[in-house]
């Protein structure tokens, strides 16, 4: 079994693959102070609860945007699975991840995995919109080259800032309110945040198309993708596990080249 781990600022997503088939997905809050021992204990309890044998894990592929957790996850993988975690990045996926970008080492590990998976599954050109702590947009051109993207405040990040600084506005579930004109505080907030994010994404994607000179499939991923996608005019696909699939592809690419076992 290959364990794929996407460590985000807000959530950590873990997927288990048997060959090309995703067998399970676990989601948990990211604790930026979590230690190796705590990660190991959490994984052990999750395997036990699902009646899975962690001895079946033969590889670990990791993407992390939290530097202080990267080493803890690598050590936990080594001690629990006796596996050296493969950390996906632009340097160790050359040939699979091709970039026309001034400083490829600056590209986030999750962005690399997203671009790899999108190009593999949907072909080039393609655009990925990843709704996480930040809303990341990745662009792969007709030649299959990652040419850059956009990083903006995420949906939940913006909502939390609103609730924090507007004393009379209570936290509200982020769902499609069904109307643009809210008739109560709750639906007014939902309209502003959900439709506002869909409109922002559509405007940015249209600018991307104008710069490229052609349109492309737009794939949404991340926790709020199912909420925003139906409200968008430009998003064509939703793939909740796109990052995990990119990690699997990057791992298999390196294993075929003999760089990982």
What are the residues facing 129 on neighbouring strands? 137, 220
What are the residues facing 14 on neighbouring strands? 5, 26
How many whole angstroms separate alpha carbon 88 and alpha carbon 246?
9
Comparing C-alpha atoms, which of 129, 120, 118, 108 is closest to residue 224?
Answer: 129
Structure tokens at 42: 């959490």
How many whole angstroms separate alpha carbon 209 and alpha carbon 42?
43
Structure tokens at 146: 């990652």
Options 53, 100, 110, 176, the catalytic residue: 110
Specify the 3-state DSSP secondary structure of 232.
Answer: coil
Structure tokens at 209: 């198309």
Structure tokens at 252: 């298999």
Q: SS3 breakdown of the chain: % helix, strand, coil, rounded to 5?
A: 40, 25, 35
Q: Round the CA-based radius of gyration of the chain to a whole number and report it.
A: 19
What length is written for the chain? 261
Q: Are 110 and 241 in contact (CB under 8 A)?
A: no
How many whole angstroms separate alpha carbon 70 and alpha carbon 39?
11
Is residue 110 annotated as a catalytic residue, yes or no? yes
Q: Are 260 and 59 in contact (CB under 8 A)?
A: yes
Comparing C-alpha atoms, which of 69, 73, 111 is closest to residue 90?
Answer: 111
Residues noted as catalytic: 110
């Amino acid at each position: 079994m290959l364990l794929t781990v996407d460590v985000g600022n807000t959530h950590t997503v873990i997927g288990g693959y048997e060959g090309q088939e995703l067998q399970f997905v676990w989601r948990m809050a990211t604790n930026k102070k979590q230690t190796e021992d705590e990660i190991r204990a959490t994984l052990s309890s999750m395997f036990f609860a699902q009646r899975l044998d962690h001895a079946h894990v033969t590889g670990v592929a990791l993407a992390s945007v939290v530097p202080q957790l990267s080493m803890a996850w690598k050590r936990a993988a080594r001690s629990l699975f006796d596996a050296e975690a493969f950390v996906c990045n632009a340097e160790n996926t050359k040939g699979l991840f091709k970039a026309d970008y001034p400083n490829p080492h600056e590209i986030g590990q999750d962005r690399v995995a997203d671009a790899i998976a999108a190009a593999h599954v949907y072909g080039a050109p393609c655009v990925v919109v990843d709704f996480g702590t930040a809303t990341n947009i990745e662009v792969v051109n007709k030649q299959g080259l990652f040419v850059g993207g956009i990083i903006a405040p995420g949906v939940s990040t913006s909502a939390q800032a609103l609730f924090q600084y507007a004393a009379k506005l209570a936290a509200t579930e982020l769902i499609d309110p069904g109307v643009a004109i809210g008739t109560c505080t709750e639906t007014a907030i939902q309209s502003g945040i959900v439709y506002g994010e869909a409109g922002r994404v559509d405007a940015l994607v249209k600018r991307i198309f104008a710069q490229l000179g052609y349109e492309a499939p737009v794939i949404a991923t991340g926790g709020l993708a199912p909420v925003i996608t139906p409200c968008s005019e430009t998003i064509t696909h939703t793939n909740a596990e796109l990052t995990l699939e990119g990690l699997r592809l990057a791992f298999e690419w390196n294993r075929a080249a003999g760089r990982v076992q």
